[in-house]
Structures are given as C-alpha cells and as structure tokens.
C-alpha cells in the first residue's frame, strides 16, 4: 500500500519513517516533506503544500494512495479529512469541526468548562475595553491567547498587567494576528510542570501513546521566548501510573464522551497539553488536534506497534481492545535550530556530518531541503537528534554525541534538554 503523510516538519519525518516500517507499506509519500524524508529509504516527497487540500486529494487519487495521515493542524482545521473521507480516500485525523478543539481556544475552553474537565478559569472577549477592564480586575500574572491559529505565537504569558494590556491591544486593536486574534481568551495563570499526553482516538475510545515532555523556550533553564519546541523526551517522569489513570479518567475520557455527545466524535491524534500542579493535579492548558512536534520524534522512536494498523483501527472505530506497545527505554530528542530562531535566521547553509551514524540515535529533519545533493538549512528548527538509552542520562548523552558530528554555520541548540527528568531520575 502507498501511504501519504501531509506536512514538512520533524514530526512528519518521524511519522513517515515509522509508517514505512508498517506491514504492507510499499512506499510513503510526504507532501511536501523535507530533505530527511527525501533521503529516507522507501519515502518520496511530493511537491504540494499541506494547505492545498484539493490538489492533495487529486494527487492522492492519481498515486493510488491507500491511507493518509495528517501532521499539522492547518489542513485539519481546513477540513482535509472531511474532503478525503467523503471521496473514499481513508484519511486519519479529526474532522474540521472536531479540530476546533485546537482551532478555537474559545471553543475548547467552553467545551472543557461545560464538561467539568479541569482547566484554567477564563473569559472570552472581542471588545478591547472589556478585555482591559477584566485584566485590571484580575491582575497579573495572567495569560492572553488569540482565539484562532497563530502558528504557536498567539499566547502571551504576562507577568505584569502592562504586558497583558499590551497583548490585548496588539490582538484586538492592532490585529497583529489578523482574524485569529479578533477574539481573545484571557485565562488564569497556572503554575506547575507541563507534560504532553497524546492519544490515538476512534470517536469513543482513546489509546494513549507514551507520555512526553517538551521544552518550549529558546534558552537553557526554559528561559526566553517560546518556540515550536527545542527538544522533547519520553516518558515524562512527572506522569506516574496513578496520574496516568487520573488523566485518562478526568480529562481524556470525558473529552471523547463530550465530543461524541455534541455530535462531533473525535477521531485522530488528540494532544492534551497539561499543567501538573505542585499538588499533582492535572489541568488542561490546551488541546492540539495532531501529534506534537518535537514529541513525535522521541515517541515514534519508542513505538513498537504497527503505526499504520493503529491508525487504520482508529479510523474504523475499532480501538476498544487495542493497545500500543513501547520500548521501555528513554528517548530524548534535541532540536538543532538556525541561529536567531525564533526571530529572524538564515537559510541555505550546507549541513555537514549527517552521514555519520551512531548506535541508538536517529536524526529527524525539519527545516531542511536538498540543493543538488547537498542538504541545506531551510527553516528555524532544522533537525531533531534523538538518542535512546536505559536512563535519561544515557539517552541524552547519545543525542549530544550525535549532535557533535553535525555542523553548519550558526547552529544553535539547548544543552540542557531533559534536565527536569534528569533531576527526578
């Protein structure tokens, strides 16, 4: 069978690599992919952007694609699964309506509160004066979020009232996020430790992947502006067995039941971004309607089950007795970024050392492309280098050892990925 993966990042490289290992998969197509997917055995890139869903459907038909897996949120929110499935082209992911769990913060907050799922208290505004009055009444710290998709940049965790007021001014009055910021959600600041809890969902049943944790901030010690993610590891030691049970019972199961009761059953990867309080209570920070990036890279390294079979079972509504199995070892991925990211950065720099392999490591590409036969940088997050090991320390040592073999002008990476897990180990 031919399988299509939509997207171009590290997550998509990891998904494509894992899907190629599935039984009966002769080729994985990635649209548009990157240099990593171009060079991966049995994987081929197709030069179509993930947002061109009509063109993707036509190409999928011409290529005889038997199953499609969607990486990023934008095509999901645009309805790629609705379009493909209506054309008898099996496509794994939520419908456009169900993808509103990520596509609209107001939709997801209203849903969470109505279903008694623990989350931060919030109010929604499109009127600037009312939003400002609310911020003044609540005080700081406080969190301001653009309602719609803003490529991960629409959240301001304000430590002062002034910063929060400036954020609503930017969104509601200066339209810095366009339509996405024409409505804002203002919510209570949650403290604690973040974790990513990602499940495979079939509309009624959710089967969890191994837990993971990412580092969103650009600088060591989780300081500085947020990025798409500078590294991630699996498992997340903050989630022990008891907490895992609670997350399933208090968050994941009520979410699937609530969506089904609303007539929009959730099929696809469901990513719950959680804050675990000092007391050990989990609360939802956000939902994503897709796999995490860079969480996918370490989690796919640990996944032992057949990913295609799992996604097919989920799309068919057959997860009731399904389990996923994982390598018990730790996987830890470090993102290598272009200097300057998440601000402005250069592209087109040749990358050296990619051919030097190291046992129990894997390099997933994100912002790369091929110029002739040379891999060059083509984005802010360039690579994610994953190491596997018996302990966090071992996995981390492997990842950094492999990183030292890879170079380009102006590479940047955090040297402390996994420090929280290391402290717990």
> Where along the sequence are the contacts to ligand GLY (CB under 6 A)?
214, 229, 288, 292-293, 295
49 binds ligand AMP (CB under 6 A): no
DSSP sequence for 172-224:
IIS-TTGGGGSSEEEEE---SEEEEEEEEEESS-EEEPPPBEE--EEETTTEE
Total site size for ligand AMP, rule CB under 6 A: 15
Q: How far apart, in whole angstroms, are the C-alpha atoms of residue 395 and residue 330? A: 6
Q: How far apart, in whole angstroms, are the C-alpha atoms of residue 402 and residue 379? A: 21
164 binds ligand AMP (CB under 6 A): no
- Nearest approach in angstroms of CB 288 to ligand AMP is 8
Measure CA of the first residue to CA of the last residue in the chain; give whole Å.
42
120 binds ligand AMP (CB under 6 A): yes
- Nearest approach in angstroms of CB 187 to ligand AMP is 5
User: In the set 143, 232, 313, 386, which binds ligand AMP (CB under 6 A)?
Assistant: 143
229 contact choice in ligand GLY, ligand AMP, none (CB below 5 to 8 Å, kind-dependent): ligand GLY
Q: How far apart, in whole angstroms, are the C-alpha atoms of residue 44 and residue 34? A: 10
- Nearest approach in angstroms of CB 36 to ligand GLY is 18
Identify which of residues 107 and 291 has a Cβ nearer to ligand GLY in the complex.
291
Q: For the purposes of burial, counting CB atoms within 10 Å of the CB of 328, is it exposed (0-12), middle (13-18) or buried (19 or more)?
A: exposed
Q: How far apart, in whole angstroms, are the C-alpha atoms of residue 192 and residue 196? A: 13
What are residue 197's phi and psi, to 5 degrees? -125, 110
Identify which of residues 222 and 253 has a Cβ nearer to ligand AMP in the complex.
222
336 contact choice in ligand GLY, ligand AMP, none (CB below 5 to 8 Å, kind-dependent): none
57 contact choice in ligand AMP, ligand GLY, none (CB below 5 to 8 Å, kind-dependent): none
Angle (nearest 5°) at CA 409 between 405 and 411: 65
214 contact choice in ligand GLY, ligand AMP, none (CB below 5 to 8 Å, kind-dependent): ligand GLY
| Binding residues for ligand AMP restricted to 383-412, rule: CB under 6 A | none
311 contact choice in ligand GLY, ligand AMP, none (CB below 5 to 8 Å, kind-dependent): none
Identify which of residues 272 and 369 has a Cβ nearer to ligand AMP in the complex.
272
Q: Which of 422, 421, 425 is nearest to 193 (CA)?
A: 421
What are residue 319's phi and psi, to 5 degrees? -95, 0
262 contact choice in ligand AMP, ligand GLY, none (CB below 5 to 8 Å, kind-dependent): none
Beta strand 381-389 with 361-365 is: antiparallel
Beta strand 91-92 with 65-70 is: parallel
Judged by DSSP in three states, 58 sits in: helix
400 contact choice in ligand AMP, ligand GLY, none (CB below 5 to 8 Å, kind-dependent): none
What is the rounded (10 degree) CA torsion for 388, 390, 395, 397? -130
Identify which of residues 297 and 368 has a Cβ nearer to ligand GLY in the complex.
297
106 binds ligand AMP (CB under 6 A): no
Q: How far apart, in whole angstroms, are the C-alpha atoms of residue 240 and residue 86? A: 41
Identify which of residues 89 and 289 has a Cβ nearer to ligand GLY in the complex.
289
286 binds ligand AMP (CB under 6 A): yes
Q: C-alpha distances in angstroms, 166 versus 95, 129, 184, 257, 264?
A: 35, 12, 13, 38, 36
User: In the set 259, 274, 285, 301, which binds ligand AMP (CB under 6 A)?
Assistant: 285
Q: How far apart, in whole angstroms, are the C-alpha atoms of residue 1 and residue 382? A: 30
Q: Binding string, 180-219, against ligand AMP, x = CB under 6 A? A: -------xxxx---x---------------------x---
Identify which of residues 82 and 295 has a Cβ nearer to ligand GLY in the complex.
295
273 binds ligand AMP (CB under 6 A): yes
Q: Which of 360, 365, 350, 345 is nearest to 407 (CA)?
A: 350
Identify which of residues 147 and 194 has a Cβ nearer to ligand AMP in the complex.
194
Identify which of residues 25 and 101 has a Cβ nearer to ligand GLY in the complex.
101
Q: Which of 210, 213, 211 is nearest to 222 (CA)?
A: 213
**Which residues in this chain contact ligand AMP in the complex, by CB under 6 A?**
120, 143, 145, 155, 157, 187-190, 194, 216, 226, 273, 285-286
């Amino acid at each position: 069978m031919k399988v299509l993966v939509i997207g171009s990042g590290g997550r998509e490289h990891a998904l494509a690599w894992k899907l190629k290992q599935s039984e009966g998969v002769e080729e994985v197509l990635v649209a548009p992919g990157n240099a990593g997917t171009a060079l991966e055995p049995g994987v081929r890139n197709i030069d179509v952007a993930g947002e061109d869903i009509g063109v993707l459907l036509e190409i999928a038909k011409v290529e005889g694609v038997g199953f499609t897996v969607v990486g990023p949120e934008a095509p999901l929110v645009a309805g790629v699964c609705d379009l493909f499935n209506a054309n008898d082209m099996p496509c794994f992911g939520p419908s456009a309506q169900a993808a509103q769990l990520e596509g609209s913060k107001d939709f997801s907050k209203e849903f969470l509160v109505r279903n008694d799922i623990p989350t931060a208290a919030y109010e929604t505004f499109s009127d600037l004066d009312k939003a400002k009055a609310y911020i003044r009444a609540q005080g700081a710290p406080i969190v301001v979020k653009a309602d719609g998709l803003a490529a991960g940049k629409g959240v301001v965790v304000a430590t002062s009232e002034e910063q929060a007021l400036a954020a609503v001014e930017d969104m509601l009055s200066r339209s810095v996020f366009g339509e996405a910021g024409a409505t804002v959600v203002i919510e209570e600041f949650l403290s604690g430790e973040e974790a990513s809890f990602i499940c495979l969902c079939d509309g009624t049943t959710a089967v969890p992947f191994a837990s993971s944790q990412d580092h969103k901030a650009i600088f060591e010690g989780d300081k500085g502006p947020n990025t798409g993610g500078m590294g991630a590891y699996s498992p997340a030691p903050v989630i022990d067995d008891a907490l895992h049970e609670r997350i399933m019972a208090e968050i994941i199961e009520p979410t699937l039941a609530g969506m089904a009761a609303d007539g929009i059953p959730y099929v696809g990867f469901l990513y719950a971004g959680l804050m675990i309080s000092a007391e050990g209570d989990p609360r939802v920070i956000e939902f994503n309607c897709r796999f995490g990036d860079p969480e996918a890279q370490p989690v796919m390294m640990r996944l032992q089950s057949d990913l295609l079979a799992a996604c097919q079972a989920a799309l068919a509504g057959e997860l009731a007795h399904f389990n996923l199995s994982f390598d018990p070892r730790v996987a830890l991925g470090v993102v290598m970024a272009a200097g300057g990211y998440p601000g402005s950065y250069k592209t087109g720099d040749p990358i050296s050392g990619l051919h030097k392999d190291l046992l129990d490591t894997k390099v997933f590409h994100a912002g790369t492309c091929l110029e002739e036969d040379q891999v060059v940088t083509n984005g802010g997050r360039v690579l994610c280098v994953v190491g596997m090991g018996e302990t966090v320390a071992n996995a981390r040592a492997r990842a950094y050892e492999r990183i030292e073999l890879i170079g380009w002008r102006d590479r940047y990476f955090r040297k402390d990925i996994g420090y929280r897990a290391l402290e717990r180990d």
